[in-house]
């Protein structure tokens, strides 16, 4: 519970004494619910100083309120509100204040639901090096030079570390001056769209595809057009030849949510489309760090840079949200030099500089090898989880479930024929403590009627924040649902 600030507490000058005036002001705050139960009152010295009263006056008022049951004191801790006015008075706060803690209700419950087993897009939250992270955060939080306004482009130390890491791990051509640090990948995507497109311009993206990108397209006033490179939807790259729009958006390393990689031939065709049409490519390098069966393809950006150099019209987007922690909210984009200024103007307009203390911590993690060690550890752990999930899933529904996604990333996408629809399975699993998504969540609602009927019997399960026990328990629950138990 936050301590109470003296704030707008006003003593009534019409009261017969200063003591009575202060008593009435505090009593009113408590009875109205403005000062909630268990909140710590200002120290007597602080209260006296702020209101221009003697400390003896404040102490006398506190003693009176304590005697009447409004407040209580704890040795060495101060005075605390004791009364629950909402139990017997109608207060304006009783029904309007949002609960803050897990015991208080829905907001914390919503957070827990988002991170429950099988929640897609959530990394393993139990195996993060919290102690080392906390030490570095403490160090950088004490650097006064970081406490003021900072570079809109983001920490140079992080951009420098990213430049080397992306080149060696993903073959990305990313000098520091062309990297822009963002508040997650979502901001990077929004900035990319607004930097290169006008309202009404058309963007080609896969369907099913990343639902957050559709939101960014809508907010930017651009129009989505759809195709799919997933084998289950025909893998039809020919649609690209007839596309007369201005940009294409892809997650080529591990398409979300269908879970396939775009091969070299398709990558070459996409790059040549951009060259011939003058269009842009937005590459969202989702889940590139976690390939289990094969070596990952080099980035589309690196290939385009080799083929066309500075003329390549490609924006590369990445994030630490999946490989590291979602909560740190740090992403980045690599843009051609001609786009740097316009992207920085957009970032300045929508958010200003991002939290540089966290960026400096990330820079240290990357430079000292901690980030790469964490990636290697998590790759091994996620591979184990993926293998266990697929193996256990083979025993569900009499072996009648097909895994559609490749052995990569933090999710498994699967479908079945006959039996319950995905939405019913999702709701039944939710009642058992598992949060899973239906495949149609990732589809444009307007396009659903034209899509195969099996889309209604397909699910996307996250394995990142699911322990091995969670996987066994969840798939046992899934089998029971299919069996009608």
Same domain, 74 and 165: no
Total Cβ atoms within 10 A of residue 91 = 16
Q: Output the pLDDT for position 77.
A: 86
Counting other chains too, the contacts that 340-349 makes at CB distance below 8 Å and 24 or more residues apart are 340/153, 340/177, 340/178, 340/180, 342/195, 343/180, 343/191, 343/192, 343/195, 344/152, 344/153, 344/180, 346/191, 346/194, 346/195, 347/152, 347/180, 347/182, 347/187, 347/191, 348/152
The whole-model pTM stands at 0.80
pLDDT digits (tens, 9 = 90+) for 289-305: 898 988 888 899 999 99
Q: With contact defined as beta carbons under 8 Å apart, do 301 and 314 qualify?
A: yes
The range of the structural domain enclosing residue 389 comes to: 377-483
Q: Output the pLDDT for position 470.
A: 95
What Cα–Cα distance (Å) separates residue 312 from each residue in 283, 292, 315, 344?
Answer: 12, 30, 9, 20
CATH number at residue 330: 3.40.640.10
Q: Output the pLDDT for position 110.
A: 64
Q: Domain total for the chain?
A: 3
DSSP class per residue in 414-427? EEESSSS-HHHHHH
Burial of 352 (0-12, 13-18, 19+ CB in 10 A): exposed
CATH number at residue 460: 3.90.1150.10
Coil, helix or strand for 462?
A: strand
Same domain, 77 and 165: no
Q: Residue 182 forms beta bridges with which residues?
A: 331
Cα–Cα distance between 241 and 229 in angstroms, integer? 14
Q: With contact defined as beta carbons under 8 Å apart, do 38 and 81 qualify?
A: yes
In a domain, 333, yes or no: yes
Q: Output the pLDDT for position 106.
A: 52
Q: Output the pLDDT for position 363.
A: 96
Q: With contact defined as beta carbons under 8 Å apart, do 117 and 316 qualify?
A: no
DSSP, res 197:
-
In a domain, 340, yes or no: yes
Residue 135: CB partners within 8 Å, gap ≥ 6? none
Q: Output the pLDDT for position 108.
A: 52
Same domain, 226 and 300: yes
pLDDT digits (tens, 9 = 90+) for 332-357: 999 999 999 999 999 999 998 888 99
In a domain, 99, yes or no: no
Q: Output the pLDDT for position 89.
A: 46
Residue 476: CB partners within 8 Å, gap ≥ 6? none
Q: Output the pLDDT for position 258.
A: 93
Q: With contact defined as beta carbons under 8 Å apart, do 180 and 347 qualify?
A: yes
In a domain, 278, yes or no: yes
Same domain, 306 and 214: yes
Q: Residue 227 forms beta bridges with which residues?
A: 206
Cα–Cα distance between 386 and 412 in angstroms, integer? 8
Residue 380: CB partners within 8 Å, gap ≥ 6? none
Residue 456: CB partners within 8 Å, gap ≥ 6? 421, 422, 423, 438, 440
In a domain, 118, yes or no: no
In a domain, 119, yes or no: no
Nearest to 463 by CA among 386, 394, 404, 390: 386
Q: Output the pLDDT for position 109.
A: 55
Q: Output the pLDDT for position 6.
A: 84
Same domain, 176 and 67: no
Q: Output the pLDDT for position 454.
A: 95
Tokens for 335?
């843009």
Q: Output the pLDDT for position 92.
A: 46
Q: With contact defined as beta carbons under 8 Å apart, do 461 and 118 qualify?
A: yes
Same domain, 396 and 367: no
One-letter-per-residue 3-state SS of 59-99: HHHHHHHHHCCCEEEECCCEEEECCCHHHCCCCCCCCCCCC
- Which residues of the chain fall short of a pLDDT of 70? 1, 84-111
Same domain, 368 and 396: no
98-107 core/surface letters (b: 16 or more CB in 10 A; e: else)? eeeeeeeeee
In a domain, 136, yes or no: yes
Cα–Cα distance between 485 and 482 in angstroms, integer? 8
CATH number at residue 45: 1.10.10.10
Please identify, among 372, 404, 436, the residue that sits at the C-terminal boundary of a domain: 372
Please identify, among 42, 67, 92, the residue that sits at the C-terminal boundary of a domain: 92
Same domain, 198 and 284: yes
Same domain, 384 and 366: no
Same domain, 368 and 381: no
Same domain, 447 and 329: no
Torsion of CA 350, 356, 360, 363, to 10 degrees: 0
In a domain, 102, yes or no: no
Same domain, 50 and 159: no
End-to-end CA separation in angstroms for the chain: 44
Nearest to 409 by CA among 115, 112, 120, 117: 120
Q: Output the pLDDT for position 233.
A: 83
Please identify, among 340, 372, 404, the residue that sits at the C-terminal boundary of a domain: 372
């Amino acid at each position: 519970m936050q301590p109470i600030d003296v704030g707008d507490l006003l003593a009534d000058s019409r009261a017969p004494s200063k003591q009575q005036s202060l008593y009435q002001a505090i009593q009113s705050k408590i009875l109205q619910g403005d000062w909630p139960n268990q909140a710590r009152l200002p120290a007597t010295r602080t209260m006296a100083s702020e209101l221009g009263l003697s400390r003896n006056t404040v102490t006398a008022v506190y003693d009176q309120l304590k005697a009447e049951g409004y407040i209580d004191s704890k040795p060495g801790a101060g005075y605390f509100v004791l009364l629950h006015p909402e139990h017997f008075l109608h207060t304006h706060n009783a029904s309007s204040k949002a609960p803050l803690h897990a015991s208080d209700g829905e907001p914390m419950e919503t957070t827990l639901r988002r991170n429950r087993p099988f929640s897609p897009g959530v990394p393993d939250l139990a195996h993060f090096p919290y102690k080392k992270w906390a030490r570095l955060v403490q160090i950088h939080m004490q650097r006064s030079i970081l406490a003021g306004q900072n570079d809109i482009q983001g920490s140079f130390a992080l951009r420098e570390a990213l430049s080397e890491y992306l080149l060696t791990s993903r073959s990305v051509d990313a000098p520091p001056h062309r990297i822009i640090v963002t508040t997650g990948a979502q901001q990077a995507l929004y900035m990319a769209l607004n930097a290169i497109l006008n309202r009404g311009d058309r963007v080609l993206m896969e369907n099913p595809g990343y639902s957050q990108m559709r939101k960014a397209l809508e907010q930017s006033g651009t129009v989505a057009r759809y195709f799919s490179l997933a084998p289950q939807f025909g893998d039809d790259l020919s649609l690209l030849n007839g596309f007369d729009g201005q940009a294409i958006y892809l997650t080529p390393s591990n398409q979300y949510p269908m879970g396939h990689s775009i091969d070299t031939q398709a990558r070459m065709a996409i790059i040549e489309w951009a060259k011939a049409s003058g269009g842009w490519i937005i590459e969202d390098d989702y889940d590139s760090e976690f390939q289990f069966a094969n070596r990952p393809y080099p980035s589309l950006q690196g290939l385009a840079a080799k083929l066309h150099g500075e003329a390549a019209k490609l924006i590369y987007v990445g994030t630490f949200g999946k490989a590291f922690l979602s909560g740190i909210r740090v992403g980045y984009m690599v843009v051609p030099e001609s786009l740097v200024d316009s992207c920085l103007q957009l970032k300045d307009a929508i958010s200003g500089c991002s939290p540089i203390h966290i960026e400096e911590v990330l820079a240290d993690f990357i430079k000292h090898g901690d980030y790469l060690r964490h990636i290697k550890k998590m790759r091994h752990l996620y591979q184990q989880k993926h293998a266990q999930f697929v193996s256990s899933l083979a025993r569900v529904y009499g072996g009648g479930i097909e895994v559609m996604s490749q052995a990569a990333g933090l999710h498994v996408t699967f479908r079945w024929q006959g039996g319950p629809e995905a939405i019913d399975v999702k709701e039944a699993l939710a009642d058992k403590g598992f949060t899973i998504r239906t495949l149609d969540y990732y589809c444009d609602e307007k396009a659903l009627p034209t899509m195969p009927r099996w889309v209604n019997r397909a699910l996307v399960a996250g394995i990142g924040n699911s322990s091995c026990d969670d996987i066994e328990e969840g798939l046992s629950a899934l089998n029971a649902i299919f069996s009608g138990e």
